[in-house]
A and B are shown apart, each in its own frame.
Chain A
């Protein structure tokens, strides 16, 4: 019985991950970093990392989870949580439903319960295909509920960020999600929970300035752009060109803001090691 469920869940995640693969990579086999083209098959084998230059192309939330979780362990949380339109912003509801159609997501975050090498954890994964992974009320609420769920179940919390920051279309309500999510992960951590924050390309603005920067352990994918202000805004402000590699994961590592840079093929192993080192979610 249990096995049947587990197989069904596995098929569901595989199906969703494949659907993303089709959407993100059916025609695009060129690399946005080096400009070189590679056969799609090579990209697929390489987990959507450029076979030529190693650029870690953004991937969808389900695809990422399917690469990390034990087969059959994926259980989505808060699946029905839907976005709202608190400012009655012109054109926003239409945009939201178009994106739901094209991505299969209700908003830019997926929360799930899953296992890595048999150890359970709660995951929240931002998806940059949905309005650049920006945080509005639904994303803020989902991250918060993931933290609350992890606290209730005494499980570790692992969040993958990929976000342009606060979502403009929800105005001040988006800004408040920064306070809400920061408070939620803080409360989870004060209760003894392990929170691993994983930055992926690109993560800026209100997500960097809230839950993503508060991990007990902070990791990032190679080359990920991570910052508060975007590079264009900075260049306009200081009127000079930024140095090569500015705000990239390697730069943040050098400046003391990351524990480690993790290539996409190593996430599962690194997270597994960390979960093992914090057996029982870090609680004695």
Chain B
């Protein structure tokens, strides 16, 4: 499992030929109906989603989309969402709960877009609302981190009952470049940052941040899409069946409790309360 160094994994996770959200939706789902717009002010192509069937069953599926060529990259803003994207995601997920559809999200983003309009329209608020909403939904949510899980922009679609990660995907508080530039004032030390950040699927599984690591083809998911699709399909089927045993409120509770304990065991309890 550790044939690749963390730095090499970051390169694999960002590989342009790696299957993305649109590819997974295309391969694993049928009857996909795309839903667009946040019903407030715009449409954001960097978040792609809608209603589809997963093995015959209606689900809501969504994720970050980077695009496969320059033209698509530009429409998708290289997978960096603006508030419109996060608000569209909230709309889709709220609707999923209304119609009792499970939610499946694919996470692959360098992070939320740090732009002027994004700030003016409340990037922070949009992400915060995603986190708050996802913590309450009474339908199963499964997230698969397929490539880059960059910062709050990734987490905004990953407050799930099960967070799964492809073997060479990465998930971190910030990009290694950003991390190095903040801590060491030198983004050229990104390689070194990859090592200390514990951003690989294996590290995160050990830390209790993700619940499953999905094996990739030997040289990475980009070398054999079909194999990657089969693995993700099997994992989603398995997890969905397990979550079906929980009733609505129990799903919300399980999800809440899972995130509640993250970092809790690290800090000693306080004194008795007044």
> Contact residues of A with B, CB < 8 Å?
75, 77-84, 86-87, 89-90, 113, 136-138, 140-141, 144-145, 149, 166, 168-180, 182-187, 190, 205-206, 208-214, 226-229, 233-234, 237-238, 240, 242, 246-247, 255-257
- CB of B115 within 8 A of CB of A237, answer yes
B82 to chain A minimum Cβ distance, whole angstroms, is 11
Knowing A81-B268, A87-B198, A209-B152 touch, does A180 contact B132 (C-beta < 8 A)?
no
Pick the contact of B128: A75, A214, A233 (CB < 8 A).
Answer: A214
Interface pair B266/A175, CB less than 8 Å apart: no
Residues of B within 8 A of A75 (CB): 274
Query: Is the pair B152, A183 in contact by a Cβ cutoff of 8 Å?
Result: no
Partner among B119, B136, B183, B268 whose Cβ is within 8 Å of the Cβ of A228: B119
Residues A80 and B271 in contact, CB atoms below 8 Å apart: yes
Complex interface bits, B122-134 against A, C-beta within 8 A gives 1, otherwise 0: 1111011101100
A228-B124 in contact (CB<8A): yes
User: Complex: how many Å from CA A174 to CA B199?
Assistant: 13
A173 touches B207 (CB 8 A): yes
Compute how far the CA of A212 lies from the CA of B124 in the bound complex, rounded to whole angstroms. Answer: 9
Nearest chain A CB to B29 CB, angstrom units:
26
Known A-B contacts A175-B152, A206-B152; A141 and B122 likewise in contact (beta carbons under 8 Å): no
Please, how many angstroms separate the alpha-carbon atoms of A172 and B6 in the complex?
A: 15
Bound-state CA distance A253–B128 (Å) is 18
Q: Are A183 and B119 in contact (CB under 8 A)?
A: no
Q: In whole Å, how far is B162's beta carbon from the nearest beta carbon of chain A? A: 14
- Find out whether the CB atom of B135 lies under 8 angstroms from the CB atom of A187: yes
Nearest-Cβ distance from residue A91 to partner chain B, whole angstroms: 10
Counting chain B residues whose Cβ lies within 8 A of the other chain, the interface size class is 35 or more
A103 CA to B7 CA, complexed, in Å = 37
Residues B131 and A183 in contact, CB atoms below 8 Å apart: yes
Cα–Cα distance between A77 and B151 once the two chains are bound (Å): 30
Contact status A178-B155, CB under 8 Å: yes
Alpha-carbon distance between A140 and B260 when the two chains are bound, in angstroms: 10
**Cβ contacts A to B, 18 pairs, < 8 Å:** A75-B274, A78-B271, A87-B197, A136-B263, A137-B266, A172-B171, A174-B173, A175-B152, A175-B172, A179-B262, A180-B259, A180-B263, A186-B136, A210-B127, A213-B124, A213-B125, A228-B123, A237-B114
Interface contact B263-A84, CB-CB below 8 Å: yes
- The answer on a CB contact under 8 Å between B116 and A246 is yes
Contacts of A169 in B (CB 8 A): 183
CB distance from A121 to the nearest CB of B (A): 13
Chain A residues closer than 8 Å to B182, beta-carbon distance: 168
B71 at interface by CB-CB < 8 Å: no
With A173-B207, A209-B124, A238-B116: A182-B198 Cβ-Cβ less than 8 Å: no
| B124 & A77 in contact (Cβ 8 Å cutoff) | no
Residue in B124, B178, B204 whose beta carbon sits within 8 Å of that of A227 in the complex: B124
* Interface residues of B, Cβ cutoff 8 Å to A: 112-116, 118-125, 127-129, 131-132, 135-136, 151-152, 155-156, 159, 171-174, 178-179, 182-183, 196-199, 204, 207, 209, 256, 259-260, 262-264, 266-271, 273-274
How long is the Cα–Cα vector from A5 to B266 in the complex, in angstroms? 32
Interface centre among A79, A86, A228 (most CB of B within 10 A): A228
Given the known inter-chain contacts A183-B135, A213-B128, please indicate yes or no for A175 contacting B115, CB distance below 8 A.
no
The answer for the CA separation of A46 and B24 in the assembled complex, in Å, is 59
Known A80-B271, A168-B173, A214-B132; judge A179-B114 contact (CB<8 A). Answer: no
* CB <8 Å contact, A137 and B260: no
Task: Assess the A82–B268 pair: CB atoms within 8 A.
Answer: yes
**Nearest chain A CB to B96 CB, angstrom units:** 18
Once the chains are docked, how many angstroms separate the CA of A255 from the CA of B196?
Answer: 39
Q: Is the CB of B273 within 8 A of A185?
A: no
A178 CB → nearest B CB, Å: 6
A136 to B259, CA, bound (A): 14
Residues in chain B near residue A182, CB distance under 8 A? 128, 131-132, 135
In the assembled complex, how far is the CB of residue B194 from the closest CB belonging to chain A, in whole angstroms? 11
Enumerate chain A residues within 8 angstroms of B174, measured Cβ to Cβ: 166, 168
Query: Are B114 and A228 touching (Cβ within 8 A)?
Result: yes
- Across-interface contacts of B155 in A (CB, < 8 A): 175-176, 178-179
Query: In the complex the two chains form, what is the Cα distance from A211 to B271 in whole Å?
Result: 24
Q: Is the CB of A81 within 8 A of B207?
A: no
A209 and B128: CB pair below 8 A?
Answer: yes
Which one, B131, B197, B271, B274, contacts A210 given CB within 8 A? B131
Top 4 A-B residue pairs of the complex, sorted by shortest distance between their CB atoms: A137-B263, A229-B114, A84-B266, A183-B135
Residues of A contacting B267 in the complex (Cβ-Cβ under 8 angstroms):
81-84, 137-138, 141
Can you name the residue of chain B whose Cβ is closest to the Cβ of A111?
B270
